[in-house]
Structure 1
């Protein structure tokens, strides 16, 4: 079957993507505080992700017909803006690129109407923890460059990838945490003065007993929205070292492995039960039936309903 062939390659392709993106993690910083820019502003975001939960990454979508717009500074977040329309924009009279950083001290923006953009906000404390893990150096605000026009193809690709994924599914907490760590490392490597230093080398593999404990924990909680910090605690190490060593041991990121187990459980339920798809989705840790359908089709090339009809 085609979906069997598709399934064989899933997870390891995800791991390679994560490896190219430079997945780094440390003790993840969770916050329910939203960026000041969301509230102290002439316009309001049309959609937010992570605003009502204690996640480490906050996402916001914007559409504006306002020509001049002040941006409140927020030193608690490292924030980037990805313009998703062709309208021209300026930051403090300087031309803004498709990717722009939001200065900690605030800025004055001018837009060619109308304009749409997406923003990515990472807690500064998380950036600091990743910086220490990568470079052995403390991070201050002065260490990060915040250009109006970020001409970095790798960073642009990373933001676009997250934008498309976040638009097609409802991101879980585990996925938001993973994205935050990927972006934190990317920002540090591309935009910090510490980026010229050599990164930490391989961390080695997890011991077999540690892998077994984590796998058992995932199996018992696959229907829940798992967190990286919880998995790391089971392994008895920091989130940074756990995520690195898990990928080196298993061959895929923790998020990819959890997704594999969720799809496997969904396949088992679809083969032997005739319960509603929404119940299958919730039993496997997906937020909704549409979330299950999107991920299932992306992984196997068929919808859950089509899969059930073929195997029953």
Structure 2
């Protein structure tokens, strides 16, 4: 739940299993082999996410663990999960249309969600040795070249991972170990760096720079630039050129 719900009742296969208050951050893991229904007495904000079994299987397989058959999240009690709440909230600007969807970012959050579910509710234990070490230099350069080859389009995590001969999850961890940040954030900073070069060309419109650097529009570019640099592109240009 994104916001608390004062009252309501939920059923599984026509049998009631929860009645009453649901707090913000409340989570329920529902098996789609059952029939679910709910009566919520007040307005509510719910983030509904479908996770295929294959995604959980992949997490276990990459960790060298047995297949996870059940996610243990008792429905008869209220389960509050701050991690899932904040992961869901990180996607809300995309859901509301306030920011354009970027494939790298969405895949990154999806990976974090599936890993958290497997660890918190599937009992998955991951050895620390699995998350150490970065990409070999030649693979790190290959990934960088793919990300920078055309800023107006971006490869998916699966494409980057395949080029490096790794699973998507292992690639993300190794790339972060090498660069200090996940691929989508690294690429965002490179886009801002390129935009700073173009902003030095006084005659080039900021709207054109935004598109050339892979931003959805000037508004999106301005928000990201201000977040990274601390000022708007126009203000930064005036400061540099003056």
- Per the TM superposition, whether the score is higher than 0.5 is yes
Higher relative contact order (CA 8 A, sep 6+): 1
* TM-score grouping bracket, smaller chain normalisation: 0.7 to 0.9
Q: Is the 8 A contact 1:91 1:109 kept in 2?
A: yes
1:145 lines up with 2:145 in the alignment: no
The match for 2:190 is 261
Aligned partners of 1:176, 1:155: CA distance in 2, in Å? 14
Partner of 1:189: 119
Kept in 2: contact 1:85–1:117 (CA 8 A): no
Larger radius of gyration: 2
Match of 2:63 in 1: 134
The alignment's TM-score, normalised by the length of structure 1, stands at 0.65
Question: How far off is 1:138 after superposition?
Answer: 1.5
Distance 2:45 2:74 in 1: 19
Q: Determine if contact 2:2/2:85 at 8 Å carries over to the other structure.
A: no
Report the structure, 1 or 2, having the larger strand content.
Answer: 1
Question: Which residue of 2 is the match for residue 74 of structure 1?
Answer: none
**Offset at residue 176 of structure 1 (A):** 0.6
2:51 alignment partner, SS class: strand
8 Å contact from structure 1 (residues 100, 147) kept in 2: no
- The aligned residue for residue 90 of structure 1 is 9
Deviation, structure 1 residue 220 = 1.0
| Gap runs ≥5 in structure 2 | none
Shift of 1:222: 2.1
What SS does the corresponding residue of 2:79 show, helix, strand or coil? coil
TM-score normalised per structure 2: 0.82
Deviations 1:154-205 (A, max 9, x none): 333333333357554222011111110011111111111x33x344523422
- Unmatched tracts of structure 1, length 5 or more: 1-81
Count of residue pairs brought into register by the alignment: 227
Contact residue 5 and residue 42 of structure 2 kept, 8 A: no
Q: C-alpha deviations, 1:77-115, integer Å up to 9, x for none?
A: xxxxx2335543432240444322252223111112322
Question: In 1, are the aligned partners of 2:9 and 2:40 still within 8 Å (CA)?
Answer: yes
Relative distance call for 1:136 and 1:102 in structure 2 (3 A) is closer
Q: Deviations over 1:13-46 (max 9, x none)?
A: xxxxxxxxxxxxxxxxxxxxxxxxxxxxxxxxxx
Q: 1:270 to 1:88 in 2, by over 3 A?
A: farther
Is contact 1:203-1:241 (8 Å) kept?
no
Q: Alpha-carbon deviations, 1:232-281, whole Å to 9, x = none?
A: 22323222221111111111111111111111111111122533333222
8 Å Cα contact 1:84/1:118 also seen in 2:
no
RMSD (Å), alpha carbons? 2.3
Residue matched to 2:108: 178
Q: Distance in 2 between matches of 1:100 and 1:237?
A: 32
Q: Distance in 2 between matches of 1:231 and 1:279?
A: 28
Conserved 8 A contact 1:87-1:115: no
